[in-house]
Amino acid sequence: MPDPFHLLVIDDQTSDLLLIEDTLQADHPDVHLTLVQSGTDAWTHCRHGRCPDLILLDLHLPGQSGLDLLRDLKTDPATRRIPVVIYSTSAAPTDIKAAYAAHAAGFLTKPFQYTELQRVLTHLLDFWRGARTDAGQVDPLDSVAD
């Protein structure tokens, strides 16, 4: 039996973390959820815990920005293949372009209403669970130099 799908959420806003936690507990109790509030906490988790199957990353974090964390995740051999979906209050085209240029797997704009968050999380989990089990999946980062 495969390990449960593991979602790591990185957001400095406790209210956003609690909303995601409530939504997942109600609709996806089989998902292993880890919530952290900084890039440092995310690295600690990835280094000392099981790497997640998907990361949901806020763009605006204290200390290291979400964009800088994304770049670091994509250059580290241990984390580079983990899909990272950015979610942010910013809908600025420059932020969206920068996120995709840094190999984000998606970009979502906050705030979410509960029902919208349910729909978005279900879609993300369904898609990335399927990608995790696709034996022939091609990794777009294989062409990126280590």
| pLDDT tens profile 24-41 | 998 899 999 999 999 999
pLDDT tens track for 104-142: 999 998 877 888 888 888 888 888 888 766 644 445 444
> Token match 């998902």: residue?
31
* Overall average pLDDT of the 63-78 stretch: 93
- Please report the domains of the chain, with CATH numbers, ordered by start residue: 6-128 (3.40.50.2300)
Percent residues over pLDDT 70 in the chain: 88
Dmax (CA) of the chain: 42
Q: How confident is the model at residue 146 (pLDDT cuts 50, 70, 90)?
A: very low
Three-state SS annotation for the chain: CCCCCEEEEECCCHHHHHHHHHHHHHHCCCCEEEEECCHHHHHHHHHHCCCCCEEEEECCCCCCCHHHHHHHHHHCCCCCCCCEEEEECCCCHHHHHHHHHCCCCEEEECCCCHHHHHHHHHHHHHHHHHHHHCCCCCCHHHHCCC
For residues 143 and 65, give the distance between their C-alpha atoms in angstroms, rounded to a whole number.
25
